[in-house]
Amino acid sequence: MNIEYTEEKFREGQVLLINKPLEWTSFDVVNKIRLSLKRYLGIKKIKVGHAGTLDPLATGLVIVCTGKATKQIDQFLGMDKQYIADVRLGATTPSFDLETEPDKFFDWEHINQEMLDETISNFTGEIEQVPPMFSALKVKGQKLYELARKGKEIELKARKITISDLKLLEWNGQDLKMDVSCSKGTYIRSLARDIGFELNSGAHLSGLIRTRIGQYQLSDSISIEDFEKNLAIFATK
């Protein structure tokens, strides 16, 4: 990724590939970049936006656009994505990940390689998926996670999504590691939950890394720390 650390280039518009840290929201990343540009380049006002939310408990690729490049955000939102997902069998959580504590426990010792292979093949292609209550989707103007944290439940409709590729990378007792390529609108947390139920057990997402958005790769990204460090160096030249 080629970044030119000048006020002119950031205003003209740059597409930044950022490796989001654990427990940061996508908005935290945007705010940090905006504040860094103001601090080191003396920019009073500049547009900065991200092209697709990544959950706080996930790490990996977030595309951030500055200046006039924010007009491109919609085209990034529609791109397919790739993830490395860690799934824990034997328990479900209300959020489908580690944001909440397990609420139900299930047997998992009956699961074997043949069951895993068959289940994974069932989740490849176009499927229907119900999004999690703990999500940023809105119902009547309210975000679902806000309702969920108040203990409210809403019956959500399934939506069609596409899993173009799903590979089992590792299997160690209760823990699975999968490589997932999917369409816009896919919730990997929901995929983990559904796989657990398909295996006559339960499951939740225990870790997630986004490795690709369209043709953009995590391997080409930069950390927030390095971005700020480079910005400071160029600002003093």
Question: Do 88 and 72 belong together in one domain?
Answer: no
Give SS3 for 146: helix
The count of structural domains within the chain is: 2
Q: Which two tokens mark 58?
A: 């996930």
Domain holding 198: CATH number? 3.30.2350.10
Structural domain contains residue 110: yes
Structural domain contains residue 2: no
Q: Which residues are catalytic?
A: 55
The set of residues, in sequence order, having a beta carbon less than 8 Å from that of 118 and lying 6+ positions away, is none
Structural domain contains residue 1: no
- Per-residue pLDDT of 20-68, as tens digits, reads 999 999 999 999 999 999 999 989 899 999 998 999 999 999 999 999 9
161 with 186: CB under 8 angstroms?
A: yes
* C-beta neighbour count of 67 within 10 angstroms: 19
Question: Do 39 and 117 belong together in one domain?
Answer: no
Largest Cα–Cα separation, the chain: 63
Question: Do 87 and 60 belong together in one domain?
Answer: no
Domain that holds residue 110: 81-213
Structural domain contains residue 26: yes
Evaluate if residue 148 carries a pLDDT over 60: no
Q: What integer pLDDT is reported at residue 126 of this predicted model?
A: 96
49 with 29: CB under 8 angstroms?
A: no
- Per-residue pLDDT of 180-205, as tens digits, reads 999 999 999 999 999 999 999 999 99
pLDDT band at 158; cut points 50, 70, 90:
confident
Question: Do 156 and 46 belong together in one domain?
Answer: no
pTM above 0.85, yes or no: yes
